[in-house]
Amino acid sequence: MIYDFKASGNYFNLDFDIQLERDQQVYCFIGENGVGKTKLLQTLANFSLYKHSMFDYYQTREDVKYSYVYNSGIFDQIKHLTINIPDKIYFNDKYTEYDYVPRATLMPLSDIDNRSMYFGNRQTINKPVIFISAKNRGYITGVDDSGVMNLPTSSKQNFVNTFLHTYNSINDKPISNDSVTNWLLQRVMINRTIQGTEKLYSEALFVLKCLKKMAPELAWLKQDEAGNICDNFSYEDGKLLISGIPIEGLSTGYASILRIVQEIVAGLSAWSNDVDLAAADGIVFIDEIDLHLHPIWQYKIIDLLKEFFPKVTFYITTHSPLVLFNLKNGEGYKLVKDEKNLVTAQKIEQNNMQFIGDIIKQFFEVDGVSIRKTNKADMLQARKNLLDLIQENQDE
Protein backbone atom coordinates (compact mmCIF):
# COMPACT_ATOMS: atom_id res chain seq x y z
CA MET A 1 0.00 0.00 0.00
CA ILE A 2 1.09 3.60 -0.55
CA TYR A 3 1.87 5.31 2.77
CA ASP A 4 4.94 7.43 1.96
CA PHE A 5 4.91 9.20 -1.39
CA LYS A 6 7.08 12.02 -2.68
CA ALA A 7 6.91 13.17 -6.30
CA SER A 8 8.30 16.05 -8.33
CA GLY A 9 8.37 16.85 -12.02
CA ASN A 10 4.64 16.71 -12.77
CA TYR A 11 3.20 18.43 -15.82
CA PHE A 12 0.79 20.37 -13.56
CA ASN A 13 3.61 21.96 -11.51
CA LEU A 14 2.74 20.51 -8.12
CA ASP A 15 5.12 18.48 -5.97
CA PHE A 16 3.95 16.07 -3.29
CA ASP A 17 5.35 14.99 0.07
CA ILE A 18 2.60 12.78 1.48
CA GLN A 19 3.20 10.75 4.63
CA LEU A 20 0.33 8.60 5.89
CA GLU A 21 -0.14 6.18 8.76
CA ARG A 22 0.37 2.60 7.66
CA ASP A 23 -2.29 -0.10 7.45
CA GLN A 24 -5.40 2.10 7.32
CA GLN A 25 -8.39 1.10 5.22
CA VAL A 26 -9.31 4.66 4.27
CA TYR A 27 -7.18 7.69 3.48
CA CYS A 28 -9.41 10.75 3.13
CA PHE A 29 -8.08 14.12 1.95
CA ILE A 30 -9.71 17.51 2.44
CA GLY A 31 -8.41 20.95 1.46
CA GLU A 32 -9.06 24.14 -0.45
CA ASN A 33 -9.80 24.21 -4.16
CA GLY A 34 -6.55 24.27 -6.10
CA VAL A 35 -4.52 22.62 -3.36
CA GLY A 36 -4.14 19.46 -5.44
CA LYS A 37 -6.64 16.90 -4.10
CA THR A 38 -7.66 15.55 -7.50
CA LYS A 39 -4.11 15.77 -8.89
CA LEU A 40 -2.84 13.77 -5.89
CA LEU A 41 -5.37 10.98 -6.57
CA GLN A 42 -4.54 10.98 -10.28
CA THR A 43 -0.81 10.83 -9.56
CA LEU A 44 -1.22 8.01 -7.03
CA ALA A 45 -3.48 6.07 -9.40
CA ASN A 46 -1.19 6.46 -12.42
CA PHE A 47 1.76 5.46 -10.27
CA SER A 48 -0.19 2.39 -9.08
CA LEU A 49 -0.59 1.35 -12.70
CA TYR A 50 3.07 2.01 -13.40
CA LYS A 51 4.09 -0.15 -10.45
CA HIS A 52 1.52 -2.86 -11.14
CA SER A 53 2.69 -6.45 -11.29
CA MET A 54 0.72 -7.09 -14.49
CA PHE A 55 3.41 -5.15 -16.37
CA ASP A 56 6.29 -7.29 -15.07
CA TYR A 57 7.13 -9.19 -18.21
CA TYR A 58 9.85 -11.19 -16.46
CA GLN A 59 7.56 -12.53 -13.77
CA THR A 60 9.09 -15.18 -11.55
CA ARG A 61 7.39 -14.61 -8.21
CA GLU A 62 4.59 -16.88 -7.09
CA ASP A 63 2.49 -14.02 -5.71
CA VAL A 64 1.96 -12.36 -9.11
CA LYS A 65 -1.73 -12.79 -9.92
CA TYR A 66 -1.98 -10.99 -13.22
CA SER A 67 0.46 -12.71 -15.57
CA TYR A 68 -2.53 -13.49 -17.82
CA VAL A 69 -2.44 -9.86 -18.99
CA TYR A 70 0.51 -10.87 -21.17
CA ASN A 71 -0.43 -14.48 -21.78
CA SER A 72 -3.97 -13.82 -23.02
CA GLY A 73 -3.19 -10.97 -25.39
CA ILE A 74 -4.81 -8.30 -23.21
CA PHE A 75 -1.59 -6.29 -23.19
CA ASP A 76 -1.74 -5.87 -26.95
CA GLN A 77 -5.02 -3.97 -26.58
CA ILE A 78 -3.74 -1.45 -24.03
CA LYS A 79 -0.01 -1.07 -24.71
CA HIS A 80 -0.55 2.05 -26.85
CA LEU A 81 -1.87 4.02 -23.85
CA THR A 82 0.36 6.57 -22.11
CA ILE A 83 0.42 7.68 -18.47
CA ASN A 84 1.90 10.73 -16.77
CA ILE A 85 4.72 9.77 -14.42
CA PRO A 86 6.69 12.30 -12.29
CA ASP A 87 10.39 12.20 -13.05
CA LYS A 88 11.36 11.83 -9.39
CA ILE A 89 9.47 9.54 -7.01
CA TYR A 90 9.98 8.29 -3.47
CA PHE A 91 7.63 5.42 -2.73
CA ASN A 92 7.48 3.50 0.55
CA ASP A 93 11.20 3.72 1.37
CA LYS A 94 12.49 3.41 -2.17
CA TYR A 95 13.71 6.33 -4.31
CA THR A 96 13.45 6.37 -8.10
CA GLU A 97 14.74 9.03 -10.47
CA TYR A 98 14.40 8.87 -14.22
CA ASP A 99 17.51 10.72 -15.44
CA TYR A 100 17.12 9.36 -18.95
CA VAL A 101 13.60 10.65 -19.58
CA PRO A 102 12.34 14.26 -19.90
CA ARG A 103 10.53 16.08 -17.12
CA ALA A 104 6.78 15.45 -16.87
CA THR A 105 7.01 12.14 -18.65
CA LEU A 106 4.29 10.64 -20.82
CA MET A 107 5.22 6.98 -20.67
CA PRO A 108 3.69 4.35 -23.00
CA LEU A 109 2.51 1.22 -21.24
CA SER A 110 4.55 -0.73 -23.80
CA ASP A 111 7.71 0.62 -22.12
CA ILE A 112 6.80 -0.19 -18.53
CA ASP A 113 7.82 -3.85 -18.56
CA ASN A 114 11.36 -2.80 -19.53
CA ARG A 115 11.73 -0.73 -16.35
CA SER A 116 12.27 -3.88 -14.29
CA MET A 117 15.60 -4.33 -16.09
CA TYR A 118 16.73 -0.91 -14.84
CA PHE A 119 15.50 -1.15 -11.28
CA GLY A 120 15.77 -4.84 -10.51
CA ASN A 121 13.44 -6.14 -7.82
CA ARG A 122 10.77 -3.44 -7.95
CA GLN A 123 8.12 -2.85 -5.37
CA THR A 124 4.88 -3.68 -7.11
CA ILE A 125 1.15 -3.14 -6.69
CA ASN A 126 -0.56 -6.50 -6.88
CA LYS A 127 -4.22 -5.54 -6.49
CA PRO A 128 -7.03 -4.24 -8.70
CA VAL A 129 -6.79 -0.49 -9.30
CA ILE A 130 -10.09 1.41 -9.70
CA PHE A 131 -10.56 5.17 -10.16
CA ILE A 132 -13.98 6.82 -9.79
CA SER A 133 -14.06 10.33 -11.22
CA ALA A 134 -16.34 13.11 -10.00
CA LYS A 135 -17.27 14.08 -13.56
CA ASN A 136 -20.92 13.43 -14.52
CA ARG A 137 -21.33 11.12 -11.53
CA GLY A 138 -24.83 12.39 -10.78
CA TYR A 139 -26.21 11.43 -14.19
CA ILE A 140 -27.19 8.09 -15.71
CA THR A 141 -28.58 7.68 -19.19
CA GLY A 142 -31.33 5.25 -20.12
CA VAL A 143 -31.28 2.33 -22.53
CA ASP A 144 -30.05 3.42 -25.97
CA ASP A 145 -32.57 4.12 -28.70
CA SER A 146 -32.17 0.71 -30.29
CA GLY A 147 -33.52 -0.92 -27.14
CA VAL A 148 -31.13 -3.79 -27.78
CA MET A 149 -29.36 -5.31 -24.80
CA ASN A 150 -25.71 -6.04 -25.41
CA LEU A 151 -24.71 -9.46 -24.20
CA PRO A 152 -22.06 -9.67 -21.45
CA THR A 153 -18.56 -9.75 -22.86
CA SER A 154 -15.91 -12.39 -22.28
CA SER A 155 -13.83 -12.13 -19.12
CA LYS A 156 -10.87 -11.02 -21.26
CA GLN A 157 -12.79 -8.18 -22.93
CA ASN A 158 -14.45 -7.28 -19.64
CA PHE A 159 -11.02 -6.70 -18.13
CA VAL A 160 -9.97 -4.55 -21.10
CA ASN A 161 -13.16 -2.46 -20.86
CA THR A 162 -12.73 -2.00 -17.11
CA PHE A 163 -9.07 -1.06 -17.46
CA LEU A 164 -9.93 1.50 -20.15
CA HIS A 165 -12.69 2.96 -17.97
CA THR A 166 -10.26 3.40 -15.08
CA TYR A 167 -7.57 4.79 -17.37
CA ASN A 168 -9.98 7.32 -18.89
CA SER A 169 -11.28 8.33 -15.45
CA ILE A 170 -7.76 8.93 -14.12
CA ASN A 171 -6.68 10.98 -17.12
CA ASP A 172 -9.77 13.20 -17.58
CA LYS A 173 -10.82 11.49 -20.79
CA PRO A 174 -14.49 11.04 -21.76
CA ILE A 175 -16.36 8.21 -20.07
CA SER A 176 -19.77 6.85 -20.98
CA ASN A 177 -22.83 7.70 -18.90
CA ASP A 178 -24.65 4.57 -20.08
CA SER A 179 -22.14 2.06 -18.73
CA VAL A 180 -24.11 1.64 -15.48
CA THR A 181 -27.38 1.06 -17.34
CA ASN A 182 -25.88 -1.51 -19.70
CA TRP A 183 -24.08 -3.28 -16.86
CA LEU A 184 -27.28 -3.62 -14.82
CA LEU A 185 -29.41 -4.53 -17.81
CA GLN A 186 -27.04 -7.36 -18.71
CA ARG A 187 -27.27 -8.79 -15.20
CA VAL A 188 -30.87 -8.35 -14.06
CA MET A 189 -32.58 -9.16 -17.37
CA ILE A 190 -30.43 -12.12 -18.36
CA ASN A 191 -31.89 -15.63 -18.43
CA ARG A 192 -30.49 -17.06 -15.22
CA THR A 193 -31.08 -20.64 -16.31
CA ILE A 194 -28.06 -20.27 -18.61
CA GLN A 195 -24.93 -21.77 -17.11
CA GLY A 196 -22.45 -19.18 -15.82
CA THR A 197 -24.95 -16.35 -15.36
CA GLU A 198 -25.25 -16.82 -11.58
CA LYS A 199 -22.09 -14.80 -10.96
CA LEU A 200 -23.35 -11.93 -13.12
CA TYR A 201 -26.64 -11.75 -11.24
CA SER A 202 -24.91 -12.00 -7.86
CA GLU A 203 -22.86 -8.92 -8.77
CA ALA A 204 -26.05 -6.92 -9.38
CA LEU A 205 -27.60 -8.18 -6.14
CA PHE A 206 -24.47 -7.18 -4.22
CA VAL A 207 -24.79 -3.63 -5.57
CA LEU A 208 -28.47 -3.47 -4.66
CA LYS A 209 -27.92 -4.81 -1.13
CA CYS A 210 -25.32 -2.12 -0.59
CA LEU A 211 -27.72 0.55 -1.86
CA LYS A 212 -30.51 -0.76 0.37
CA LYS A 213 -28.24 -0.28 3.39
CA MET A 214 -27.32 3.23 2.26
CA ALA A 215 -30.72 4.44 1.05
CA PRO A 216 -33.47 2.10 2.31
CA GLU A 217 -36.25 4.54 1.37
CA LEU A 218 -36.07 3.29 -2.24
CA ALA A 219 -37.14 -0.32 -2.83
CA TRP A 220 -34.02 -1.68 -4.53
CA LEU A 221 -34.94 -5.29 -3.65
CA LYS A 222 -38.07 -7.38 -3.25
CA GLN A 223 -39.10 -10.97 -2.50
CA ASP A 224 -40.18 -13.30 -5.28
CA GLU A 225 -43.04 -15.77 -4.98
CA ALA A 226 -40.74 -18.32 -3.35
CA GLY A 227 -39.63 -15.81 -0.73
CA ASN A 228 -36.16 -15.29 -2.18
CA ILE A 229 -34.55 -11.86 -2.28
CA CYS A 230 -34.33 -10.54 -5.83
CA ASP A 231 -33.93 -7.26 -7.69
CA ASN A 232 -36.80 -4.79 -8.08
CA PHE A 233 -36.00 -3.92 -11.70
CA SER A 234 -38.38 -4.17 -14.62
CA TYR A 235 -38.08 -3.45 -18.31
CA GLU A 236 -40.97 -1.66 -19.97
CA ASP A 237 -41.29 0.29 -23.23
CA GLY A 238 -37.55 0.31 -23.76
CA LYS A 239 -36.81 1.63 -20.26
CA LEU A 240 -35.04 0.03 -17.31
CA LEU A 241 -37.07 0.78 -14.18
CA ILE A 242 -36.09 0.50 -10.53
CA SER A 243 -39.09 0.41 -8.20
CA GLY A 244 -41.09 1.81 -11.12
CA ILE A 245 -38.70 4.76 -11.70
CA PRO A 246 -36.77 4.98 -15.00
CA ILE A 247 -33.09 4.66 -14.16
CA GLU A 248 -32.34 7.90 -16.01
CA GLY A 249 -34.94 9.60 -13.77
CA LEU A 250 -33.12 8.88 -10.51
CA SER A 251 -32.10 11.96 -8.54
CA THR A 252 -28.46 13.00 -8.73
CA GLY A 253 -27.94 11.67 -5.20
CA TYR A 254 -29.24 8.19 -6.03
CA ALA A 255 -27.37 8.21 -9.34
CA SER A 256 -24.12 9.18 -7.62
CA ILE A 257 -24.22 6.48 -4.95
CA LEU A 258 -25.31 3.89 -7.55
CA ARG A 259 -22.37 4.76 -9.79
CA ILE A 260 -19.86 4.63 -6.92
CA VAL A 261 -20.94 1.17 -5.78
CA GLN A 262 -21.44 -0.21 -9.30
CA GLU A 263 -18.00 0.94 -10.47
CA ILE A 264 -16.33 -0.69 -7.46
CA VAL A 265 -18.16 -3.99 -7.99
CA ALA A 266 -17.65 -3.96 -11.75
CA GLY A 267 -13.96 -3.23 -11.29
CA LEU A 268 -13.31 -5.88 -8.66
CA SER A 269 -15.20 -8.56 -10.59
CA ALA A 270 -13.40 -7.74 -13.85
CA TRP A 271 -9.97 -8.05 -12.25
CA SER A 272 -10.68 -11.44 -10.72
CA ASN A 273 -13.15 -14.29 -10.82
CA ASP A 274 -13.85 -14.19 -7.09
CA VAL A 275 -17.50 -14.94 -6.40
CA ASP A 276 -17.32 -13.44 -2.91
CA LEU A 277 -17.01 -9.72 -3.60
CA ALA A 278 -16.75 -8.98 0.12
CA ALA A 279 -13.47 -10.93 0.14
CA ALA A 280 -11.98 -9.13 -2.85
CA ASP A 281 -9.08 -6.78 -2.23
CA GLY A 282 -8.13 -3.74 -4.27
CA ILE A 283 -7.19 -0.06 -4.31
CA VAL A 284 -10.05 2.33 -5.03
CA PHE A 285 -9.62 6.05 -5.65
CA ILE A 286 -12.79 8.20 -5.34
CA ASP A 287 -12.67 11.90 -6.18
CA GLU A 288 -15.11 14.17 -4.29
CA ILE A 289 -17.01 11.34 -2.68
CA ASP A 290 -19.56 13.74 -1.19
CA LEU A 291 -20.65 15.10 -4.59
CA HIS A 292 -24.48 15.16 -4.90
CA LEU A 293 -24.93 13.26 -1.61
CA HIS A 294 -27.40 14.36 1.08
CA PRO A 295 -25.67 15.19 4.40
CA ILE A 296 -26.98 11.94 5.93
CA TRP A 297 -25.36 9.94 3.12
CA GLN A 298 -22.14 11.92 3.47
CA TYR A 299 -22.08 10.85 7.10
CA LYS A 300 -22.81 7.18 6.30
CA ILE A 301 -20.74 6.59 3.16
CA ILE A 302 -17.40 5.67 4.77
CA ASP A 303 -18.90 3.09 7.12
CA LEU A 304 -20.86 1.60 4.23
CA LEU A 305 -17.74 1.14 2.09
CA LYS A 306 -15.85 -0.40 4.99
CA GLU A 307 -18.68 -2.83 5.70
CA PHE A 308 -19.24 -4.06 2.13
CA PHE A 309 -15.61 -3.92 0.95
CA PRO A 310 -13.58 -4.80 4.07
CA LYS A 311 -10.39 -5.73 2.18
CA VAL A 312 -10.32 -2.73 -0.15
CA THR A 313 -8.12 0.30 0.57
CA PHE A 314 -9.71 3.64 -0.32
CA TYR A 315 -8.01 6.92 -1.23
CA ILE A 316 -10.71 9.59 -1.18
CA THR A 317 -11.10 13.36 -1.52
CA THR A 318 -13.95 15.39 -0.07
CA HIS A 319 -15.15 18.92 0.62
CA SER A 320 -17.47 17.76 3.40
CA PRO A 321 -16.59 17.75 7.12
CA LEU A 322 -19.42 15.24 7.58
CA VAL A 323 -17.46 12.63 5.62
CA LEU A 324 -14.62 12.97 8.12
CA PHE A 325 -16.73 12.25 11.18
CA ASN A 326 -16.63 8.44 11.06
CA LEU A 327 -12.94 8.16 10.27
CA LYS A 328 -10.44 6.69 12.68
CA ASN A 329 -7.26 8.46 13.68
CA GLY A 330 -4.82 8.13 10.80
CA GLU A 331 -7.52 8.11 8.10
CA GLY A 332 -8.19 11.85 7.68
CA TYR A 333 -5.71 14.40 6.25
CA LYS A 334 -5.79 18.06 5.29
CA LEU A 335 -3.70 18.97 2.24
CA VAL A 336 -1.66 22.17 2.45
CA LYS A 337 0.31 23.84 -0.37
CA ASP A 338 3.26 26.14 0.34
CA GLU A 339 4.67 29.01 -1.73
CA LYS A 340 6.86 26.58 -3.70
CA ASN A 341 3.82 24.47 -4.74
CA LEU A 342 4.81 21.62 -2.43
CA VAL A 343 1.72 19.78 -1.16
CA THR A 344 1.89 18.06 2.23
CA ALA A 345 -0.68 16.18 4.31
CA GLN A 346 -1.53 17.15 7.90
CA LYS A 347 -3.26 14.46 9.95
CA ILE A 348 -6.67 15.42 11.36
CA GLU A 349 -7.10 14.32 14.96
CA GLN A 350 -10.47 12.62 15.17
CA ASN A 351 -11.09 13.56 18.82
CA ASN A 352 -11.58 17.10 17.50
CA MET A 353 -14.37 15.91 15.20
CA GLN A 354 -16.66 14.58 17.95
CA PHE A 355 -18.75 17.74 18.19
CA ILE A 356 -20.04 17.17 14.65
CA GLY A 357 -22.12 14.31 16.06
CA ASP A 358 -24.28 16.79 17.95
CA ILE A 359 -24.95 18.72 14.74
CA ILE A 360 -25.84 15.58 12.80
CA LYS A 361 -28.19 14.42 15.51
CA GLN A 362 -29.93 17.78 15.90
CA PHE A 363 -30.33 18.94 12.32
CA PHE A 364 -30.44 15.74 10.25
CA GLU A 365 -32.32 13.46 12.66
CA VAL A 366 -29.82 10.60 12.43
CA ASP A 367 -30.21 8.08 15.22
CA GLY A 368 -27.39 6.04 16.63
CA VAL A 369 -24.65 8.64 16.34
CA SER A 370 -21.97 7.64 18.81
CA ILE A 371 -20.86 10.61 20.88
CA ARG A 372 -17.93 10.00 23.17
CA LYS A 373 -17.59 11.97 26.35
CA THR A 374 -15.30 14.95 26.06
CA ASN A 375 -14.44 18.01 28.09
CA LYS A 376 -15.48 21.57 27.35
CA ALA A 377 -12.12 22.54 25.88
CA ASP A 378 -12.29 19.69 23.38
CA MET A 379 -15.83 20.66 22.38
CA LEU A 380 -14.85 24.29 21.86
CA GLN A 381 -11.86 23.23 19.79
CA ALA A 382 -14.06 20.86 17.79
CA ARG A 383 -16.57 23.66 17.15
CA LYS A 384 -13.77 25.92 15.92
CA ASN A 385 -12.35 23.20 13.66
CA LEU A 386 -15.75 22.52 12.15
CA LEU A 387 -16.50 26.19 11.52
CA ASP A 388 -13.05 26.66 9.97
CA LEU A 389 -13.64 23.73 7.60
CA ILE A 390 -17.09 25.02 6.63
CA GLN A 391 -15.73 28.55 6.07
CA GLU A 392 -12.96 27.21 3.85
CA ASN A 393 -15.50 25.46 1.64
CA GLN A 394 -17.73 28.54 1.49
CA ASP A 395 -14.77 30.65 0.38
CA GLU A 396 -13.90 28.31 -2.51
pLDDT at residue 274 is higher than 90:
no
Query: What pLDDT band is residue 149 in, cutting at 50, 70 and 90?
Result: low
More confident position, 123 or 21: 21
**Which of 25-34, 130-139, 195-204, 346-355 has the lowest average pLDDT?**
346-355
Regarding whether 255 and 209 lie in a shared domain, the answer is yes
Residue 382 in any domain: the answer is: yes
Measured CA to CA, the distance from residue 12 to residue 239 in angstroms comes to 43
pLDDT at residue 38 is higher than 90:
yes
**What is the pLDDT, as a whole number, of residue 10?**
81
Residue 393: give the domain boundaries: 352-396
Mean pLDDT confidence for 101-117: 62
Regarding whether 360 and 391 lie in a shared domain, the answer is yes
Residue 157 in any domain: the answer is: yes
pLDDT tens string 3-17: 999 998 888 889 999
**What is the pLDDT, as a whole number, of residue 97?**
53
**What is the pLDDT, as a whole number, of residue 118?**
47
**What is the pLDDT, as a whole number, of residue 219?**
93
Regarding whether 62 and 78 lie in a shared domain, the answer is yes
Regarding whether 245 and 141 lie in a shared domain, the answer is yes
Residue 91 in any domain: the answer is: yes
**Which of 61-70, 262-271, 365-374 has the lowest average pLDDT?**
365-374
Regarding whether 272 and 344 lie in a shared domain, the answer is no
pLDDT tens string 307-360: 999 999 999 999 888 888 888 889 999 999 999 999 999 998 765 555 565 555
Residue 323 in any domain: the answer is: no
- For residue 88, give Cα distances in angstroms to 47, 52, 167, 256, 337: 12, 18, 22, 36, 19
Query: What string of DSSP letters covers 274-334?
Result: -S-GGG--EEEEESSTTTT--HHHHHHHHHHHHHH-TTEEEEEEES-HHHHTTPPTTSEEE
Residue 143 φ/ψ, nearest 5 degrees: -65, 140
Regarding whether 82 and 35 lie in a shared domain, the answer is yes
Regarding whether 234 and 342 lie in a shared domain, the answer is no
Helix ranges (H only) for the chain are 37-50, 68-71, 74-78, 109-112, 115-119, 155-170, 179-188, 198-214, 252-271, 295-308, 321-324, 356-364, 376-395
Instruction: Map residue 100 onto helix, strand or coil.
Output: coil
Residue 246 φ/ψ, nearest 5 degrees: -55, 135
Regarding whether 162 and 117 lie in a shared domain, the answer is no
Regarding whether 150 and 117 lie in a shared domain, the answer is no
**Strands 94-97, 105-108: parallel, antiparallel or unpaired by DSSP?**
unpaired
Sequence letter at residue 330 = G
Cβ atoms within 10 Å, residue 269: 23
Q: How does the average pLDDT of the chain come out, rounded?
A: 81
Regarding whether 150 and 275 lie in a shared domain, the answer is yes
Residue 69 in any domain: the answer is: yes
Cβ-in-10-Å burial (0-12, 13-18, 19+) of 181 comes to buried
Regarding whether 396 and 337 lie in a shared domain, the answer is no
**What is the pLDDT, as a whole number, of residue 117?**
43
Residue 149 in any domain: the answer is: yes
Identify the CA nearest to 137 among candidates 316, 317, 295, 259: 259
Query: What pLDDT band is residue 135 in, cutting at 50, 70 and 90?
Result: confident
pLDDT at residue 186 is higher than 80:
yes
Longest dimension (CA), the chain: 67
Query: What pLDDT band is residue 246 in, cutting at 50, 70 and 90?
Result: very high
Number of domain units in the chain: 3
